[in-house]
Amino acid sequence: MGRGLPRGALKRRLALSLTGLRVTASLAAGSTRHLFAPGEERRAAQRALLAREARRLAAQLGRLKGAYAKWGQLLALHGRHLLPAEVVREFEVLTDRVEPLPFAAVEEALESHLGARRRELEVEPRPIAAASLGQVHRARHRPSGRLLCLKIRYPGVAEATAADFRDLRWFAAIAEKLGGGAGLTALLEELARLVEEELDYRREALCLGRVAELAAGEGELLVPKPWPRYCSEATLALDWVEGVRLDSPEAAALPRRARNRLGRALFASLFRELFRWRLWQTDPNLGNYLAAGARPVRLALLDFGAFREVEEGFAAALARVITAAVAGDRHQIARGLEALGFIGEDQSERSRDRYAAFCELLAEPLRLGVEGAVPRRLVGRGGYRFGASDLVQRAARAAAAAAASPDFAPPPAAFALLVRRLSGLFGALQALDAEFDPRFALALLPDQSSAMGMACQAGSS
């Protein structure tokens, strides 16, 4: 385990470049070595080689942390439907299982930011989770004996992340000039803004308190409360929550009824955040949720650094897109996308229809009851069979085909973030093998009568 976070733009860039060269050389040598092996043996060897080199690259990204580790997280999320499973599995460790810093390195940050209050906490040296910007420790509050969760930002990560993004902007600009990264710079700027907000733990503490108040009446949700006395720009303290990850064997072993309850809570949370709370989670990381308790099981929300405000106009236009997609009205979908700023009036009819068709595809689970809208294999007795669905893969293929079109206009960053959240939501629902009718969530749209009316009209057509 290293002494601390690697510092200095040149040092970090060099470390990543050397790892990239080693990975490339190893893949080339491995491909040559197994060139004449029998078919299945060659394929097995290639899979093992990919996994090993992906593990090497993921480990380096985890050591560097900051923006590089964030990039690896995105690769794990979106690559799930495009890259070999062996590669994706290795990158998934970057969500919350990267190599942590030694406790001595983060202890310095605790002392610096908490001062004398540090002595009121008995912190377990071994972290329970480590991610791109900080790591998490369990602690005991000495005066009361209560357990709490303590999130500590890596010392120096803010400066390192700023340097990382300067490098990534340079690469993005080159990619766009070469014609291989349309819209990449805009997306990178949005990601940089979000990461800058995530680095401010005071902001996250305020957001946590606000969500805890908003969720107080929601029986299926559990939101820990912050401990303001131990919160600073680099430390965040909150109630300890006992539970299991949604993609864990323990969650998979839960009764069907419990997994469906968690799935419904996840699905409702997106609609509730966007249209009722006007504050939505843009990070779909599965590590942000736990299955807590047993009778009944509840969905615990854990991470609040990536929440962002939702403007009223945005929510209204998005509701319009959803209700139109449920009804299969592509003209109205396009009008809603215009209001969102996702497409412009100058785009070709073909491009507008392609965007509308993509939104209609994403709304598939909400179109239960519409003849021909949902493949028969995905309709179960309880509703939509998320565990058996290949919807995200189909959406990824549709997006790739659209991007290859000469009249393709890259979507804005907000659209990409929304699709990213949907992708993460489907990943969680698939991990739970959930089966339920998601149309209940339409009641959470701002214009409930309109939304339900359009859904009923679509279902009877």
pLDDT at 285 (0 to 100): 79
pLDDT at 99 (0 to 100): 79
**Ordered DSSP codes for 23-80:** HHHHHHHHHHHTTTS-HHHHHHHHHHHHHHHHHHHHHHHHHH-HHHHHHHHHHHHHHT
Omega of the bond leading into 155 within 30 degrees of 0 (cis): no
- Rounded to the nearest integer, the mean pLDDT of the chain is 80
pLDDT at 54 (0 to 100): 66
pLDDT at 251 (0 to 100): 95
CB atoms within 10 A of CB 404: 8
**Encoding tokens for residue 458?**
């679509």
The domain spans of the chain are 9-94, 103-155+200-308, 311-459
Q: What is the DSSP secondary structure assignment for residue 362, as one 8-state letter? A: H
Residue with token string 């470049």 = 17
Do strands 221-222 and 298-301 pair parallel, antiparallel, or not at all (unpaired)? parallel
Distance CA 456, CA 165 (A): 47
Sign of the CA dihedral with 220 first, then 265, 90, and 388 last: positive
pLDDT at 137 (0 to 100): 96
Q: Which CATH number fits domain 103-155+200-308: 3.40.640.10, 2.60.40.60, 1.10.510.10, 1.20.120.420?
A: 1.10.510.10
Q: Is 369 exposed, middle or buried (0-12, 13-18, 19+ CB in 10 A)?
A: middle
pLDDT at 208 (0 to 100): 93
Distance CA 189, CA 59 (A): 25
pLDDT at 449 (0 to 100): 46
Distance CA 152, CA 136 (A): 6
Model confidence pLDDT, tens digit, residues 35-72: 444 556 656 666 666 666 666 766 666 566 656 666 66
**Encoding tokens for residue 337?**
């996308």
**Ordered DSSP codes for 194-237:** HHHHHT-HHHHHHHHHHHHHHTTT-TTEE-PPB-GGG--SSEEE
The residue among 248, 235, 198, 263 whose CA lies nearest residue 92 is 248
Distance CA 269, CA 288 (A): 13
| Residues whose CB falls within 8 Å of the CB of residue 140, separated by 6 or more in sequence, listed in order | 121, 122, 146, 147, 148
From residue 359, give the alpha-carbon distance in Å to each of 284, 366, 413.
Answer: 19, 12, 16
pLDDT at 51 (0 to 100): 66
Q: Do the Cβ atoms of 184 and 170 come closer than 8 Å?
A: no
pLDDT at 303 (0 to 100): 87
> Which residues of the chain fall short of a pLDDT of 50?
1-2, 10, 12, 14-15, 17-21, 23-37, 81-82, 178, 180, 448-461
